[in-house]
Amino acid sequence: QVQLVESGGGLVQAGGSLRLSCVPSGYIFSINVMGWYRQAPGKQRELVATITNSGTTNYADSVKGRFTISRDNAKNTVCLQMNSLKPEDTAVYYCNAQGLQGTFRPFNDWGQGTQVTVSS
C-alpha cells in the first residue's frame, strides 16, 4: 500500500493563492506519474494537472496560466501552486500517484483530499 498525504488547503479570497503539497510513503520502487484532481459537491472528479518523471506536464484548460505543478523526484513529492484563484476552483483536491511498489506491482493510489475554498 502507498500512502499519499495532502496538505496546504484552506480558505482564501478570490485572487489569492494556495500551495498544495503531496507526500507519498510506503514500499515504493518508483512513481511514474503524479497529479492533482478535484471534485466539487455534486460534480464529477476532474483532472487538474499531472507531471511525469521526465517533467512533462498536463493541465486542465480551466487552470492553465494560473496553476503550476512541480515535482521533486528525489523525494517523490508533488506540489501545486495555485494563483489567481476563483470561486469555481472550490473543491476537494486529491493527490494521485501511479508507479511500482517495491515488489514491482503497479499501483494507482489516492490521498484523502484537502479542501480548497475560494470566497467571492
Average pLDDT over residues 90-98: 98
* pLDDT digits 0-9 by tens, 14-51: 999 999 999 999 999 999 999 999 999 999 999 999 99
* pLDDT digits 0-9 by tens, 57-76: 999 999 999 999 999 877 88
Nearest Cα neighbor of 30 from 87, 69, 85, 71 is 71
Give the rounded distance of the alpha carbon of 45 from its chain centre.
12
Q: Is the CB of residue 67 less than 8 Å from the CB of residue 83?
A: yes
- Measured CA to CA, the distance from residue 74 to residue 51 in angstroms comes to 14
